[in-house]
Structure 1
């Protein structure tokens, strides 16, 4: 019998706040109700923004909060070969292409096009620059030393899939949707899977890790609901198992804005320093039954 396996996976680019606390406690409670286990994954592939002190702080804050996990935390930065192997597999299938375009070049390509479509995150879809370069042109760009990203040829990738792409949503999507849902990866266009700066993207790393860690249930915030379409497509292309998904609501401030590290929202560490107890935080977040 397969043990229900959940994971909490923060990124150490700042200290954890109440939104992280809610997600961690929600995951822990969901695992207990399912008779399963919780794993802790530290998503630190972004070496530009992630810091080792934030890793230590996150582990300390979660322990103080009463979050329980099994085994040692998995640090993504120690498993880059796993993600590169997945990229190599997609490249061998002819599904990736190098993009040498800068952000400025992309902006200029869609300038004056107010009707240009956006992806679910509100960012303009990639306009296809460098998608159809000849081999000689690509080699010339490489020889010049211009860094490049690796993009997924979405049209070609979808041609490899038979039938609709679906996922099981046990929680509540932004439109209050539950149950078996149809995913729409095409809404994201030719997404980046290999970043110029750090080599791999969140999308490729998360699906590889979920498979390697035998994660059966993914609990995370609604802000990642639409990214599930990309993840399900990659799972199909890479022949990886499909977990169940549960996207929970987000913790917001008094204006309705979701909490974030970049906005400087108050961290768990600062609340601890101010004398707030772990039980007070759990109660405020609706986890009174947690001990």
Structure 2
């Protein structure tokens, strides 16, 4: 899988550092689209005959296991999770303590992904960091294995800041362009993945999963905002951001800045 390449959702060049992942985990948990769980539960409840009595869930780009910690207690059956990531340091920090749930870690990427025997594939904040051929590979692997995919917290290309500032739109446009650098899908990832799974016969459900940041998330808001602007400046160094950043950070420190960072969750269920 991809290696959680910088998407502006966290500080500087260390988006997937353990401290950043820990900082964002509560906001991720609140944002995730719970309405996608009901169809997933219905599907997985038919897997009582899974080998060893446990369904097999693979989480790509797992970080320290936040997706598993959120989803495992919401599934109706015993589970075994395989947590995949390219970063061995993150895998060393992965943990999961839910009753009737076991896990193991594996270092690797999307190359040669084999989902045979897998009951569910998950990702979190990863889809927008892929290129089209990687999404095609993911969809092919899920289709071949008859494996549903829950792909969460993909950036949607919309940020709302309150109070508004004249520079907001320019920063957002530069950030979105940075997200699309090279062949990366960025804000187009959910639309592309929907098309990729649909053309392979899957039923695709989508739901909004926005971060809603305010005074209670001041540290996360600050870190996210700094990274958002830094990515925009890498795309367009001519942006006049010095005073803008100062104004925004002062508002954040005063508890006056609020942000809605739009994401989308996607559940793809193959034809049966």
TM-score range, shorter chain: 0.3 to 0.5
| Between structures 1 and 2, the one with greater strand share | 2
- Between structure 1 and structure 2, the one with the greater Rg is 1
Structure with a larger share of its residues in helix: 2
User: What TM-score do the two structures reach when normalised by structure 2?
Assistant: 0.33
> What is the TM-score with the length of structure 1 in the denominator?
0.31
